Chain A
């Protein structure tokens, strides 16, 4: 059984049909890259999988470890082990980052019947994961994403992923707007988490990220459908030729 099985997924946003039938299987241990031109539906796919209320699934099926993912609320999906790194992480004034992260970690622990972490245990966990991403501890005492630079926001996303240890991580254009140093940090964080039990779906517009996070499979999305799938060399081909040849082919 695949970890994630998407069958004929069709999604509407703002009344417009964006995804017109996606089929994709992702197994544990695999990294899948979803590429495609602007407006092809890459981010729609990521957001629909995470349960964003503005994306309406009109047809199709998504199974996560055999369970109907679409039947779950966004928070249930998260607790089941699906994580989405946001393209645009939300700034939340007045909510302390550490407080939020602890609540998130404990929500998941509770779901699995594990005892909640106390402040000390949480700080130990945070210290260990912060090193991995070169996260400055002062980021923890600030409000969630508030006043963070673009790079800090994306690193905070990956930091959350490291804390929550999801089974399936979906990265929605995590590379956009990052300079090369931040990109390397983010990629190192992701690579450190690669494991035979974990799968990644990496949505990106640019091949650049895939130099650092080397995918097992690359899928090209165009007009709401996967028009081409291949290995990591497909990304290089796209980089060399652009997206134009996909539609022409």
Chain B
């Protein structure tokens, strides 16, 4: 097999027909994104950041840009917290006004379509959009940038406290052709503002599509954003998503990422702690089963002193699934008194499941506290025996330990109905995986 540098093949054609219009700066940005993607192409295993995750098949799938789909309203049914009182629904990358509901938000808070915001809040969007989403070195962010058209926009003016969680639901699907969508999210929180923002990605089993999402979150001075990402894509979907967060002085950002769906999944989460006294939590829980691939790449960049970061990623692997975890922590020379903690754990339920895990610390300051730890393995036999010695069956003991394992991330969800729904969904899916494990014994 010859190894020629992959050129964007099917994408080249699509890029020619990329969306145009809107403000001039946006058109320029799309052009720059397209040019960068043309140069970068779809990453291959020769790219260190993609060593274990092969997405080159994307080059040969004849994706068509996603359009409308039938029964969008029904497609929301059965997914976690889609009955949220405040919800923004984005269908195949396009904001859906009829399915969205944004009543009752405090004055000055904007939540709605990104395409509309490009017109109505052009100054805010221009100031922030594309400022931290790295389209120069990240292929898929470049691709998303080339196709920017719509998505969700959330803006909190200084001092705005939003109690009701804002749930952005990205519905993807295809009636016939294999489609791709490039939804975009921009969240801007002014000084002292606070909100909970949930991004859900949902799709119906059996439908094949490629979802390439990019989100940018800016947290103003002394503001706090609790971000949740819930991924329940079709089990035949490619899901590639990049989250970029930026914190300011004394601001707080937390993100909890839950991966339950998708055939090939890549989550990039990048946080820059760019103001003194900032705090960042990046937690994740993923279920990789069947023949699925789940790759989480995180980067926490401590750019300023006195910031804390906390990271816990946990995976449950079954079937012949593969998982990748790469956690990078950068501590810049200026970032003295950094306190960074990273934990990565994976539970292997079968012999066929594999994980590649790599912590990466790049520390340029000398007065810092950085710890990381990884643990991969099976359930603790001693714990199983202890529980059984108290009368719990093997299955009960095992379930209790798996629940406890997942609980450490699930318990961080501050939106109660979301946590309950996620827990139910996770354990429902796990029950099926475990039944399969048992049937092979």
Contacts and interface: CB of A to CB of B under 8 A. Distances in A.
A73 B394 contact: yes
Nearest to A103: B392
Interface stretch (B87-95, B223-231, B399-407, B419-427): B399-407
Interface stretch (B70-78, B100-108, B235-243, B382-390): B382-390
Contacts of B405: 94
B398 to A, nearest CB: 12
B404 A93 contact: yes
Contact of B391 (A52, A78, A90, A93): A78
B136 interface: no
Contacts of A111: 391
B389 A100 contact: no
A29 B382 CA distance: 31
B267 to A, nearest CB: 23
Interface size class of B (residues with CB under 8 A): 20 to 34
Contacts of B383: 90, 92
Task: Choose among B387, B396, B400 the residue with the greatest number of A CB atoms under 10 Å from its CB.
Answer: B387
B333 interface: no
Looking at A77, A83, A144, the one whose CB has the most chain B CB atoms below 10 A away is A144
Contacts of A51: 388-389
Interface residues of A, number: 29
Contacts of A84: 389
B407 A108 contact: no
A192 B400 CA distance: 31
A75 B400 CA distance: 15
Contacts of B389: 50-51, 74-75, 77-78, 83-84, 86
Given A94-B404, A164-B391, 11 more contacts: A51-B388, A75-B389, A75-B394, A84-B389, A86-B386, A86-B389, A93-B408, A100-B400, A103-B400, A104-B387, A108-B391
Interface of B: 380-383, 385-394, 396-397, 400-401, 403-405, 407-408
25 contacts: A73-B394, A74-B385, A75-B392, A78-B388, A78-B391, A79-B391, A84-B389, A90-B385, A92-B380, A92-B383, A93-B404, A93-B408, A94-B407, A95-B401, A95-B404, A100-B387, A100-B390, A103-B396, A104-B390, A104-B392, A108-B391, A111-B391, A143-B404, A160-B390, A164-B390
Interface of A: 50-53, 73-75, 77-79, 83-84, 86, 89-90, 92-95, 100, 103-104, 107-108, 111, 143-144, 160, 164
